[in-house]
Amino acid sequence: MKQSLNTFINHQEPSFLTKLERKEPWVHLLFWVAYFIYPLFKFRGLELHVSSQLNDLFFGMVVFYSAYLFFFPSTKKQQCGVLLLVLYCIVGYGNFMVHNWIFDSSHQDAVLTYTLGYLSTYLLLILFAYTFYSVKDTYQKQMALKEANQGKIQAELASLKAQINPHFLFNTLNSIYYNALQKDDKTPEMILKLSDNFRYLLQEGQNEQVAIRQEVAHLRDYISLQEERLANKVNVQFEVTIDNPDQMMAPLMLISFIENAFKYTSLLKGSNHLITISLTLEKQVFDFACSNPFRLQPTQIMDEHWQESGVGIRNTQQRLQYVYPDSHQLHIDQQEGMFWVHLQIML
């Protein structure tokens, strides 16, 4: 998966369960070391046999991992439980027989005492196995849920971008249509720029990230197309200050705001209405600002191709929440006859 989506889903501190799962072999090793040396502290001053400790360690591991690897993951607990009960009886008997052999059959008469001791030890080992299994199972369920959410987010992002592209293309084609009706000599040039927009939308626009220089070139083409259509009606001030043109960012994050600026300015009477657009990148802090006059009267009828551009802004807001959830600030304001958009992203 590409970086931006990874940033959204995985760019966070590892949870306790994640850290524990990554160190699972070491946790098991530490547990068995503690299991082995525990009697040294419990029976200090008494003579202990390493062979006997190794014997108890081996049979204890059989009990632990038979429950950890087979019983708890099993969906047929009843049948598996019967088999484990039989196994534990055999293990307990084998444990005692080896123990008795180590001590030259001197513990033959204490079979009941040792059997009860083994049963209590096995019960504790099974409880520990259940604890280990529960922690691991919880982690695996969390990872499965994260993967499911990841797939859902990918699908939703693709859907949002698919909704942005058609209405942008409709609006651009509408611009060229007006020029063709007027037999404008610049129509071929506009068609060429539109073809570049098509290429960007169908190729780079489908990527998770593009270089900022590509996004800027796409915006320049769009602004040029709108300036041609609106002629003397608009005065666009487009400023770009980029310290790293190859810095990567999610594509099509800005076009809806710029499109919105032209939409409402095109409804105004008069000429030379100022639209200001600025792009700044400094030390991976991306700043976008756009302002345009806004005086839509309730009785005004908006061109049908423009009416859907609000969808693009809503989709862009949703995409920002997905791709840059904790690293962007978006402010949209309307006051004193002006519409303002300010977006800042930590790339």
Which residues touch 161 (CB under 8 Å, ≥6 apart)? Answer: 205, 206, 252, 315, 319
Q: Per-residue pLDDT tens for 52-101?
A: 778 788 888 888 888 888 888 877 777 777 777 777 777 777 777 776 67
**DSSP three-state, residue 68:** helix
Tens digits of residue pLDDT in 216-231: 998 998 888 888 777 7
The per-residue pLDDT of the chain, averaged, comes to: 76
Per-residue model confidence (pLDDT) at position 33 = 85
* pTM for this entry: 0.54
Domain ranges (residues) in the chain: 3-145, 150-346
pLDDT band, residue 149 (cuts 50/70/90): low
Residue, of 293 and 103, whose pLDDT is higher: 293
Average pLDDT for 128-137: 84
Q: What pLDDT shows up at residue 238? A: 95
Q: What is the pLDDT of residue 3?
A: 44
Q: Is 47 left (phi over 0), alpha (psi -120 to 50) or beta?
A: beta
Pick 150-346's CATH classification: 3.30.310.50, 3.30.565.10, 3.40.50.720, 1.10.3720.10: 3.30.565.10
pLDDT at 113 over 90: no
Cα distances (angstroms) measured from residue 343 to each of 180, 260, 286, 319? 35, 15, 8, 13
pLDDT tens digits along 239-253: 999 999 999 998 888
